[in-house]
Amino acid sequence: MDKSKVFDRTALGNALLSVQYGKIRGDAKRILALIDGNTSIGAIFEKVPHSVRIHLNDIFSQLLSEGMIKEKVKTLDERTNSTENKDHKQKAVLITQQSEESRIARVIEKESKRRIELEHELAEVQSQLEATKVRQQEVEAVCRKLQKQVAGFERDKSAKSPEAAQSPSSQVDAEMELHASLNDFSLLNQALLDQQKNFDSTLKLRNYQMKLKAEQNQNETEVMDEKLALLNPHYSKLRNLEFFKGFENAELLRFIDFARWQKVRTGEIIFNEGEVGLPFYIIVSGSVNIISASQRIATLGWGDFFGELAYLSDVKPLRSAQAVAATEGELLVVEPVEIEISSVQMRLNVVEALLRGQVKRAMLSSKRIDNLMSHLNTKYDNE
């Protein structure tokens, strides 16, 4: 199947997707949720695990045959945008390739120089180690010889042999040889300690080089992410939003890849109270009124989000209020299934941003209640 094709859900597909227990479930339902009229088959292929990829063609064939999806024909504007996005991606790939080739060349040169130095150091250390081993064998041989002699002297002493008492010179020679061997042992121990210090120094140097290399790679990755971010046409719109405060550039770019953009007109209903819905929305421009029981309870603007309760709660995903565009604007639509199949860090960042926003709202609500109570108390006192 052509991976560049883009499909859209039909009315039947949308209806079946909102049914919790229907004839479509499992991997097919997850794939149906990813089909939004903007994401190509290739992009969906990259977002799903290997166990789903091998059945992707069969799943698409099933969805097509049952009328849940249809191929989307690109308009002139979409073809123009696709061409522009392709140019951006080609520029980004070219910059990435050039930077990667330069980085690899520098790394190879540094590694070659350091490898030569380490090989020289290793050869010297091995030579010292071999000499130490030879010396150790010599000392061990002398030690075994002395042990035999000492054992013999002990036997002679216990027997109190007169001949042994008449041979003090041989005992003195043995004691001198024993002292010399002890000195040899001391020298051997010192040589082994020096050898251990050399090994420790080499290991510390190597660990420092590995740490330095990791830091350099991290810095180069951050620089590359910054370049790719500046090339993305949507990056500047989102970078300063409070929601993306904790996102690194690479994570923000991945978020942009799976999020969907939606333009709204003044008075347009985004969703109704009581509807089943999973996506949540981030306001990139314009403002949105939140209405419950025909009463406006809040007006949200640039950087705010709404509709997130269905994602954060385990209950049935029903909209607790109506969302209506107060002005023309642009929204970022986020499907929870996209978050769930992303990295752990991405999920943590999204949940943290949502909870941070809810805490802010709770504090504002508490402040409003305090002000209202203060006003009521003042009015009661005056009466």
Distances (CA, A) of 275 to 15, 190, 263: 12, 81, 20
Q: Walk along the chain (383 residues) and give the pLDDT tens digit of each residue.
A: 678 888 988 888 888 877 765 667 788 888 888 888 888 888 888 888 877 888 888 888 888 888 888 988 765 555 566 566 666 666 665 665 566 556 655 655 666 667 677 777 777 777 777 877 787 787 778 777 777 877 777 777 677 555 544 455 666 666 676 667 667 667 777 777 777 777 677 767 767 767 776 666 665 555 555 666 667 778 988 998 999 998 999 899 999 999 999 999 999 999 999 898 889 999 999 999 999 999 999 999 999 999 988 777 767 788 889 999 999 999 999 998 888 888 889 999 999 999 998 888 888 888 888 888 887 777 666 66
The CATH class of 245-382 is: mainly beta
Alpha carbon distances (Å) from 193 to 118, 132, 162, 253: 21, 11, 46, 54
**What integer pLDDT is reported at residue 383 of this predicted model?**
63
Is residue 297 helix, strand or coil? strand
The two beta strands, 260-264 and 280-285, are: unpaired
Is the CB of residue 267 less than 8 Å from the CB of residue 328?
Answer: no
* pLDDT the model gives residue 50: 79
- Strand residue runs (E) in 301-377: 305-306, 322-325, 329-334
The conformational region for residue 267 under phi > 0 = left, psi -120 to 50 = alpha, else beta, is left
What is the predicted pLDDT for the residue at 56? 85
Task: Assess contact for 252 and 244: CB atoms under 8 A.
Answer: yes
Q: How confident is the model at residue 102, as a pLDDT?
A: 61
Q: Could you count the other beta carbons within 10 Å of the beta carbon of residue 41?
A: 19
Distance separating alpha carbons of residues 315 and 295, to the nearest angstrom:
24
Sheet of strand 260-264, all strands in order from the earlier edge strand to the far edge: 260-264, 329-334, 280-285, 305-306
Alpha helix stretches (DSSP H) within 246-343: 249-258, 309-312, 336-340
Q: 336 with 32: CB under 8 angstroms? A: no
74, with CB counted inside 10 A (0-12, 13-18, 19+), is exposed
Q: Specify the pLDDT at position 227.
A: 67
What's the pLDDT at 164? 47
Q: Where are the domains of the chain?
A: 7-73, 78-231, 245-382
Q: How far apart are CA 194 and CA 188, in angstroms?
A: 10
The residues, any chain, with a CB within 8 Å of residue 6's CB and separated by 6 or more, are 37, 38, 39, 40, 41, 71, 72, 74
